[in-house]
Amino acid sequence: MSASTSSESSWSSPFAIFGYAMVAASAMAIAEIAYYSTDPALSAASLGTTGGIVVAVIAFVLFGLWGAPNE
């Protein structure tokens, strides 16, 4: 982790708020997509892309938290 400043560690900084929005939007998208995985006929077609999207979202958040601030 990079050295954090008081602003970036704040739960209500714009970076944090946009992060929450990003996580919420991703969760909604993944929930929409994963819904199809409950259908036996469709799960095989959906798993690869769904898995890739889940990993990408996790990476997005982790890299964002780890990356240097815009200072």
Partner 1 sequence: MVESDRSAVPAEDYRDTYPGFQRPPALVQTLNDTEEAIRQRLARLRLFDRIFLLHRDWMTRITMLMIILSVFWGAVGAFDIFGFQSQVVGLATGGPVELSNQEIYSSLTLHGIRMLFGFAQQLEMAFFGFLLVNVLGLTPRYKWRLYTSVALINLSIILIEGPIYLVPFNDNYFPAVGWYFLSPLGVANDSLYVVSPLWFLGWLALASSVLLWTWWMVSHFMVWYRAQPANYRRLPVFVLFILVTLVLIPLTYVPLLVSTVWDLGAYFGNWAMNPLANQVIFWMFGHGIVYILFLLPIAGLYLLFPILARRPPYSYRWAFVAAVMFVLLTPLLGLHHLYLAPIPSWSVWLTMALSFLIIIPSAITFFSLWMTLKGVPRSQWEWNAVALFALLAFAGSILGGLSGPVVATVPWDVDLHNSFFVLSHFHALTILSITAGGFALAYAFFPILTGRSWYSSRLALGHFLLTAVGGVGVVLAMDDLGSLGVLRRSFILPMLPQLTEYQLLLFGSIIVVLLGQLLFVLNGFLTVFWGSLFSSSGLSFDEAVRQAAQSTCPTHRHVPIEDRPFARRVSRARRERVEQLWVGTVAILLIVVLAMYTPAVLSTSNAIGSAGTAPPGTEFVVLSGQQYYWTVGESGRVNGTFDNVVVAYAGQWINVNATAVGATQGFYLPVRDEQVVNFQVVPGSESHALFQAPSDPGVYGAPDSEYDGPWFGQDVTALIVLPAPGPFPTLAPFQSSGGGGDIYNPPIYASATADLVADSLGLFNASVPGPTLTASAGPVSFQWSVPLSSIGVNNYLVNVTSSAPNQQQQYVIDHNYSLPESFGIWGIHPSAGLASVTNSSLRINSVEVETATLLPGVYLYGVIHPVDYSYDPSSDSGVTTGSDRGFVMGLWGVLWVNT
Least Cβ distance, residue 2 to partner 1 (angstroms): 8
Integer Cα distance of 40 and 24 in angstroms: 27
Q: Is residue 15 close enough to count as binding partner 1 by CB under 8 A?
A: yes
Integer Cα distance of 27 and 13 in angstroms: 21
Q: Binding mask 47-66 vs partner 1 (x if CB under 8 A, - otherwise)?
A: -xxxxxx-xxx-xx--xx-x
Q: Is residue 1 close enough to count as binding partner 1 by CB under 8 A?
A: no
Q: Is residue 37 close enough to count as binding partner 1 by CB under 8 A?
A: no
CB 46, CB 36: distance < 8 Å: yes
Least Cβ distance, residue 39 to partner 1 (angstroms): 5
Any idea of the CA torsion for 42, 49, 58, 37, to the nearest 10 degrees?
Answer: 0
Q: Is residue 22 close enough to count as binding partner 1 by CB under 8 A?
A: yes
